[in-house]
Amino acid sequence: MGQGVLEVDDNSFESEILKADKPALVDFWAPWCGPCKAIGPVMEELENTYGDSIIFARCNVDNSPNAPTKYGIRAIPTLILFQNGKVFDQVVGAVPKSHLEGLVKKAL
C-alpha cells in the first residue's frame, strides 16, 4: 500500500512526477467535472493495490493550467502515465477500472 493519491500542481509537477524514481499515473481533473468524480475512487483502489510500484496523483486543471497545456489536454478526465519523465501512455474519459488497471500493469 502506497501513500495515498498525491495532489500535484504546477509547482510540484516536475519534482513529484517527472523526476520520480518510479512510474506515475496522473489524473487531470476539475471539481465541476462529473466523469472526473467517478475516476477518484478508482484511483484510490488502484493506489491501494499498486501504490508501492507506481505513484498515483491528481492535478486540478483549474488551479494548475501549465501542466495540462504542456501535455495538450483538451478534455477531462485525462489520465497520463509517465515513466522516466516522459509520457508512456494516456487515456481520455471515464473508463472502467479494468482499463486503468491494464494501463498500470503496462508500466510494471
Told to judge if 33 belongs to the known catalytic residues of this protein, a careful annotator would answer: yes
Q: 30 in a domain, yes or no?
A: yes
Select which of 36, 54, 79, 81 is catalytic.
36
Domain count, the chain: 1
For position 3, what pLDDT does the model report?
Answer: 72
Q: 91 in a domain, yes or no?
A: yes
Q: 38 in a domain, yes or no?
A: yes
Q: In sequence order, what are the residues at sequence separation of 6 or more whose Cβ sits closer than 8 angstroms to the Cβ of residue 63? A: 9
E strands in the chain: 6-8, 24-29, 55-60, 78-83, 86-92
Q: 87 in a domain, yes or no?
A: yes
Query: pTM for this structure?
Result: 0.95
Q: Which residues of the chain have pLDDT under 70?
A: 1-2
Q: 107 in a domain, yes or no?
A: no
Query: Each residue of 68-77: pLDDT tens digit?
Result: 999 999 999 9
For position 2, what pLDDT does the model report?
Answer: 57
Q: Could you list the residue range(s) of the whole structural domain that residue 97 is in?
A: 6-101
Q: Which CATH number does the domain housing residue 46 bear? A: 3.40.30.10
Beta bridge partners of 26: 57, 80
Which single residue is written with the C-alpha cell 491528481?
58
Told to judge if 59 belongs to the known catalytic residues of this protein, a careful annotator would answer: no
Q: 40 in a domain, yes or no?
A: yes
Q: 1 in a domain, yes or no?
A: no
- Grid cell listed for 89: 501512455
Q: 20 in a domain, yes or no?
A: yes
Select which of 30, 33, 38, 107 is catalytic.
33
